Structure 1
Amino acid sequence: MLKHLYIKNFTLIDELDISLYEGFSVITGETGAGKSIILGAIALLLGQRADSKTIKQGAEKCVIEAHFDLSRYNMQAFFDENDIEYDADDCIIRRELTAAGKSRAFINDTPVALSMLKELGDQLMDVHSQHQNLLLNKQDFQLEVVDIIADDAAQLTKYQQTYTAYQAAEKELAELQAAIERNRENRDFLQFQYEELENAHLVEGEQEELEQRSDTMEHSEDIKSALYTTDNALSADQNGVIEQLRSSLSALRSIEAVYPEVGDLIQRIDSSYIDLKDVAHEISSLLESVDFDPAELDQVNNRLDRIYELEKKYHVDAIEALIEKREMLHQQLQAIENGDESLDEVKARVSQLEAQARKEAEALTKLRTKAVKKIEDEMQKRLVPLGMPHVRFSIQLTTIELGVNGCDRVSFLFSANTSTPLQPVSQVASGGEIARVMLSLKAMISGAVKLPTIIFDEIDTGVSGKTAEMMAQIMKEMGGHGRQVISITHLPQIAALGSVHYKVEKNETANGTTSKMRQLDADERIREIAQMLSGSDVSEAAIQNAKALLGH
C-alpha cells in the first residue's frame, strides 16, 4: 500500500509531500490542474523511461519518492533474490533525474536497474488510465484475465517449458534436414576432397622437418667447408689447436715441481684440452655425415611442393590445418551416411515433445474452461447494477495451433440489449460501457491478484448519475480488506464515497505556474463536491446536495 508520496521539481510541481491511506480515496481537480502530472511521476516510480524535459524549469534535479507498507503482501522473496534490504513496514522507492539527462533508481537506498524497479512496481501498483480501455481489443489481455481467474500459473509455466523444448527440437530438426540436404548435394565433392587429403598421408610436424632438411641440403657445400676448416684448425698434426695445447701442457708440467705457480694454469689448460677434443670429435663426425644427395633433395622439395599446393588450395597456412580439414570432411561424410538415423532420432523427439505439449495444453484448456463460466457469472452480476439490466457477457474459447500460451483463443463477447447479438466487446460497446466492463474486470481480478494499490484515472468517463454511484460502490468494495484504491474523478457521486478526498490545484505565482495536491477537511470537501455539482457558482442547494451525497 502506498502510504506516502514525495515529489520535488517535477514539471509544474515545486514540492509535494503527502500521506495516503488504505481503503477508497478520491482525487479531484479541474481539467489541467495537474492530476496527470502526479500520475506521470508515479509512472516513473514504476519504471517508465525518463525524459529530462519533465524536470521543473530552472531546477538541477527532480526527486520522486514513495513509501509502501508491504506487511500484508508476503514480498520478501523479491528482496532476498535481488540482495536488497527488506523492510515490510516501510519500503522506499526513489527515482532521481538530473537536468543533464541522468537517471537513477533506488529500492530501500540500494541502486537498482530500471528493469528491477519495473519488476517490483508491477507487484505494487496497477494504474488504470483511460487508454487501458483499449486493452479490451487485445486478445492477450483477455487471455490473461482468464488465466488469472483460472489460477493456472503453475500449469502455464509447465506447458511453456515443454513448448519451448518442442520449438527448440523443431528448429534442430529443420537445421539437420537442411544440413543433410546440402551435404548430400555436395557429397561427391566432399568425398573427393577427403580422399585427396587422406591420400596425401599428412603427419603433424612433417612440414617443419622437411623445410629444415631442404634448407640443410641446399647449403651442404657451405656446411662441409665450414666443418672442414674447423676440423683442420683443431686437429691438424702440427699446427692444430689440440696438438698445441698438448705441447703446452707437457712444457708446464715439466716445471711444475720447481715452479708451483703454474699448477692452476695446468688444470685450466687441461680442462680446455679435454673440451676441445670432444668438440673436434663431434665436428669430425658431422663432417662425415654431411653428404649432398640431389635425388633426396628433389624428393624433399617435391613433398614440400605438394604440401604447399594443398595449403593454398584449402586456404590454410599449416599442415595441422589440413589435417583438421581432413577430419572435418570425414565427419561430414559420416553424418551423410548416418543422416537418416540422426533424422529419425530428432523426429522421434519432436513427436514426443509435441504430444507432451498438447497434453499440457489440454490441461490448461480445462482450467480455463472452468474459469470462463466463473467469469461470465461474475461479470453478469457486476454489470447489471451498473445500468445495464439486459447485458449479456460471454467468453468464447476456441482452439488454435499450439502457441506460447497454449492452444486457446479467447474472445470477450458483449451485448447491452436483448435484441443485439453477442459480438466482440470492443466492436459494439460504447465508451461508457467499456469503462464499466473494465471496472468490473478489474474488481474481479483484484480479488485474485491481491495488488496493494490500484489507481483508476477517470474510469468513470461516459457515465453519470446512479451508474456512477454504483461504480463508486465497486471501487469502495475493492478498497476493503486492507487494499488501497484511488480514483481520479470528475463525478461528485464517486468523489462522495471516498474515505479520503484529495484536490489537485494549479496556481499562478510570481515564479510561474505551480501544481499541488492537498487533503481536504470536512468543510472543504463539502464545498468541492458542491462545486462539482453546480460549477464555479456554488449555491446553497449545491451545498445541501453535497452534504446529502456525503451522508451528512
Structure 2
Amino acid sequence: MVLERLQVRSLGIIENVEVNFGPGFSALTGETGAGKSLLVESLELIAGGRASAELIRSGDEKLVVEAWFDRPASECLEAEFDDLGVPTADEIVIRREVTAAGRSRCWVNDTAVTVGGLQRVASHLLAIHGQHEHYGLAEGDTQRRLVDTFGDLGAEASGVHGLWQRWIEASGEVRRLETARERRRDRMDTILFQEGEIDALAPTIGEDDTLRGRRLQLRHIARLQALTSDVVDGLGDREGAVVEELGRAERSVAQIAECGVDVEELLRLVTEARVISEEALREVRVLGGDLREDPAELDGIESRLHLLETMMLKYGGTLEEVLDHRERLRAERAELLKVEDRLESARKNAAAALEAYDKAAACLQSEREETSRAMAVEISRVLERMDMAGTLLNFHWTARSEEESPLKRDGLPVAFGADGVEEVELLLAANQGEDLRPMARIASGGELSRLHLAIRTVLRQRGPSQGLTLLFDEVDSGLGGVTAAALAALLAELAFHDQVLVVTHLAQVAGRADAQFKVKKTVTKGRTTTTVTAVEGEARNREVARMVAGEAVTDATRSHAAELLSPTRLSRKPK
C-alpha cells in the first residue's frame, strides 16, 4: 500500500500544504526549524496520535490533516472496516480535525470513528519510527509480534489464541453454572418449602367440595333431625302412615284379583310403591340415626378448609391447580439437581482447555525464546552497518504473577492471555561495557529509528513485507560518512518492498531516495509559513549540494551531489 497524498492545513506554521508521494523511497529535507517535524506530527495524527489545540496555527479555528492511501489487499484491514462500519472503496481516506476547544474528530472514508478505531485502521497502513514512537518497539505486544513474524510463528500463535478462546468459553460456562448453583440454593430452599407444605397437607381433588357439604350438614343438624323425624312419621311411625296405607291398599287390590278382575299391573304398581316406601323409611331412619351434633368434627372441618383455601390462594385457584404446582416444583427440583452434574462436567472441560493451552503456550514460548535470540543476533549485525557496533540486544521474557490465576508456573499463579504467558521486554546496551536496560528508557530517538530500520530489514529478509508506509525520523542522527551511506543503502533496500519516508539531514540519504521533497520556511506579510516542494533535476542537485556544504555551494559540491544522486538514476534490483 502507498500513501499517495497528504494534505495539512493550519498545523503549527503550516497554512496549507499538499504533498503527493509515490512508491519507493522519499526523502524529506530542509533546514532545521523549517517544519519537517510538523509533517511527522501530521502523520502521527493520521495514525491516531495524541491531539492538542496547541498544534493549531495562530488565529485559526481548527487544524485538518487528510491522507489518501491506495487500498491494500488485506483481510485484516477488511475485518477492521466491517467491525467499524467503514465502507470499502478504491482508496482509503483518513481525515483528522482538531478544534481550538481541543476537540478531536476522526473519519475513515467519510465515516466517523473513534481515535481507537483510527489507530486500528492506521496500524495496517502506517508505521512511524522515531522519537515520538506510537506504534513501536517500546510496547511488549509489538515486540512479541515482531518475534513471531521473524520466526514464522503465526500458526503457533493462532493456535494458542484459539486454545485461550476455548478456555475463556469453558471457564465462562463454569462461572455461569456456579452462579446458577448459588441461585439454585436459594431456589431449592423455596421449592423444598413449598413442596413440603403441599405434601404435608396432602390435598385431594374435590376434597374441599366434600368438606363444605359436610360443614353445611353440621351447621344445620337440629333442623335436619326435625325434618327426618317428620319424614319417618309420615312414612311409617304414626297411624295412617304411607307404608301402612300402601300395605292395606296392596291387600285390597289382591282381593279384587281374587274376584276375577285383571289387576295384575295395578297390583305390581301398588306393591312396588310399598316396597319403595319401606326402603325410603329405612334410609331416612339411618339418616336420622347419623344426625348427631359434633362440634369437634365441625371445628376440624373448618380448620381443614381454612388450610386448603389458604393453599389455593398461594398456589392456584383450585386444588387441582395446587397439585399441578407441586408437580412443576418436583420437575424443577429434578432439573436443578442436574446443575451439579453439569458444573462438574464444565469444570473438567475448563481444566482440559487450560491444560491444552498451557502445553501449547509453553511450546510457543520455547520457540519464541529461541527465535528472539537468533533475531537479536541478526539485528545486531544490521546495526553494525549503522555505527552501532557492539550494541547488545536481548529479548527478556518473564511471566507476570497474578493472584488466583488458575495457571501455575513453578507452583506460582501467573497471568496469561491470548498471546501466551510470558511478557517480553527488549533490553539494550548501546555501548560496550554497559548493562542491558529497557530499550524504551535509554535509546535516543535516532537509535530507536535505526533499531526499527534494522528490525524491518531482518524481517524483510525473512519473508514478504506487510506493505506498510514506513516513516523514519532521526534515523540518521549523529551519522556521517561510510555509516550514512550504509544507512542509505538499507533504506533503499527496504523501499523495494515498503513505501519509505525519511526525514533526513544527510545528503547521502537524500541522494539514494527515489524522490525528494524540500521543506522550507518563508515569511509573507509578517506570517511564517512552511511549504513543501518536490525537487527534481537541477533543483534537486542544488538541494543535495546545500545539504553537503550549506550555503557555500561550489562546483565541487555540485559534482559531489551529482555523484550522490547517481544511484537513484540506475535501474536497481532488490537484494
Matches within 5 A, 1:69-468: 69-70=70-71, 84-87=87-90, 91-95=91-95, 97=97, 103=105, 105-107=107-109, 111=111, 113-114=113-114, 117-132=118-133, 135-174=136-175, 176-177=177-178, 180=181, 191-192=192-193, 194-196=195-197, 331=332, 335=336, 337-338=337-338, 340-365=340-365, 367-368=367-368, 371-372=371-372, 374-396=374-396, 401=414, 402-415=416-429, 425-426=439-440, 433-445=447-459, 448-468=464-484
Once the two structures are TM-superposed, the CA of residue 163 in structure 1 deviates from its matched residue by 0.9
Q: Does 1:470 align with 2:486?
A: yes
Q: Does the C-alpha gap of structure 1 residues 460 and 195 become closer, same or farther in structure 2, counting only changes over 3 Å? A: farther
Whole-angstrom CA distance in 2 between matches of 1:5 and 1:459: 22
Q: Distance in 2 between matches of 1:102 and 1:322?
A: 66
Q: In structure 2, what is the equivalent of residue 286 of structure 1?
A: none
Deviation of residue 80 (structure 1)? 9.2
Secondary structure, in 3 states, of the residue corresponding to 2:421?
strand
Distance 1:441 1:410, change over 3 A: same
Question: Relative to structure 1, is the Cα distance of residues 499 and 195 closer, same or farther in structure 2, using a 3 angstrom cutoff?
Answer: same
SS in 2 for 1:33: coil
Measure how far apart 1:466 and its partner are.
Answer: 3.7
Question: Can you list the C-alpha shifts for 1:356-392, whole angstroms capped at 9, x where unaligned?
Answer: 2234324534653563354234213312222244344
Are 1:190 and 1:333, in contact at CA under 8 Å, matched by a contact in 2? Answer: no
Distance in 2 between the 1:117 and 1:55 partners? 20
Q: Give the direction of change, closer, same or farther, for the CA distance of 1:201–1:493 in structure 2 (3 Å limit).
A: farther
TM-score by length of structure 2 reads: 0.62
Q: Give SS of 1:467's match.
A: helix
Separation of aligned partners in 2, 1:419 and 1:355: 43
RMSD over aligned Cα atoms = 4.9
Write the letter of the residue equivalent to 1:357.
Y
Task: Tell me the secondary structure at the aligned position of residue 131 of structure 1.
Answer: coil
- Residue identity opposite 1:358 in structure 2: D
Question: Deviations along 1:141-189, whole A, 9 cap, x unmatched?
Answer: 2212111223333432332122122133234435645765786699767
Give the aligned length. 452
Tell me: CA distance 1:202–1:434, structure 2 relative to 1, closer, same or farther (3 Å): farther
CA–CA separation in structure 2 for the residues paired with 1:487 and 1:37? 13
Rounded to whole Å, the distance in 1 between the matches of 2:44 and 2:430 is 34
* 487-496 vs 133-142, greater mean Cα deviation: 133-142
In the superposition, relative to structure 1, how do residues 540 and 472 fare at CA in structure 2: closer, same or farther (>3 Å)?
Answer: same
C-alpha distance in structure 2 between counterparts of 1:377 and 1:145, whole Å: 14
Q: Which runs of 5+ in 1 are unaligned?
A: 204-209, 214-293, 312-319
> How far apart are the structure 1 equivalents of 2:544 and 2:513?
12
The amino acid across from 1:381 in the alignment is: R
Q: For 1:151, give the aligned amino acid.
A: D
Distance (Å, rounded) in 2 between the aligned partners of 1:386 and 1:71:
31
Structure 2 residue aligned with 1:278? none
Structure 2: unaligned runs, 5 residues or longer: 213-297, 400-408, 567-575
Q: Is the 8 A contact 2:34 2:530 kept in 1?
A: yes
SS at match of 2:385: helix
Structure 1 residues 45 and 397: alpha-carbon distance in aligned structure 2, compared to 1, 3 A threshold: closer
Q: Equivalent residue of 2:40, what SS?
A: helix
**Contact 2:480-2:506 within 8 A present in 1 as well:** yes
Q: Deviations over 1:5-61 (max 9, x none)?
A: 233444533322332122221112344433233233334444557667756566677
Matched residues in 1 for 2:309 and 2:73: separation?
Answer: 81
TM-score by length of 1: 0.65
Residues 249-278 of structure 1 show CA distances to partners (whole Å, capped at 9, x for unaligned) of xxxxxxxxxxxxxxxxxxxxxxxxxxxxxx
1:431–1:462 contact (8 Å) kept in structure 2 = no
Separation in structure 2 between the aligned mates of residue 65 and residue 331 of structure 1, nearest angstrom: 62
8 Å CA contact retained: 2:105, 2:112: no
Q: In the TM superposition, what is the alpha-carbon distance from 1:454 to its structure 2 partner?
A: 0.8
- The alpha-carbon distance between structure 1 residues 449 and 521, as it changes in their structure 2 partners (threshold 3 A), is closer
The amino acid that maps onto 2:470 is I
CA distance in 2: counterparts of 1:458 and 1:299, whole angstroms: 95
Over 3 Å counting, the alpha-carbon distance change for 1:71 and 1:196 in structure 2 is closer
Amino acid in structure 2 at the alignment position of 1:504: V
Maintained 8 Å contact 2:129/2:473: yes
Q: CA deviation at 1:349?
A: 0.6
Whose radius of gyration is greater, 1 or 2?
A: 2
Q: Is the CA contact 1:79–1:85 (under 8 Å) kept in the aligned structure 2?
A: no
**Paired amino acid for 1:353:** A
Structure 1: which amino acid aligns with 2:452? M
Separation (CA, whole Å) in 2 of partners of 1:122 and 1:11: 25
Matched, 1:494 2:495: no
Q: Distance in 2 between matches of 1:322 and 1:471?
A: 89
1:11 and 1:54 in contact (8 A); partners too: yes
Indicate if the aligned counterparts of 1:73 and 1:452 stay in contact, CA closer than 8 A: no
Residue-by-residue CA offset, 1:369-422 (whole Å, 9 max, x unaligned): 563354234213312222244344444556765432123444445445665566
Q: Alpha-carbon deviation of 1:338?
A: 4.8
Alignment deviations for residues 61-112 of structure 1 (CA, whole Å, 9 cap, x no partner)? 765443334478799956996684543xxx14142648696846242xx535
CA–CA separation in structure 2 for the residues paired with 1:360 and 1:435? 34
DSSP-derived class of the 1:538 partner: coil
Counterparts of 1:339 and 1:16, CA distance in 2: 67
Per the alignment, do residues 55 and 161 of structure 1 end up closer, same or farther by CA in structure 2, a change over 3 Å counting?
Answer: same
Deviation at 1:463, TM superposition (A): 4.1
CA offsets per residue over residues 453-473 of structure 1, 9 Å max, x none?
111122333544443332222
Q: Distance in 1 between matches of 2:564 and 2:322?
A: 88
Identity %: 26
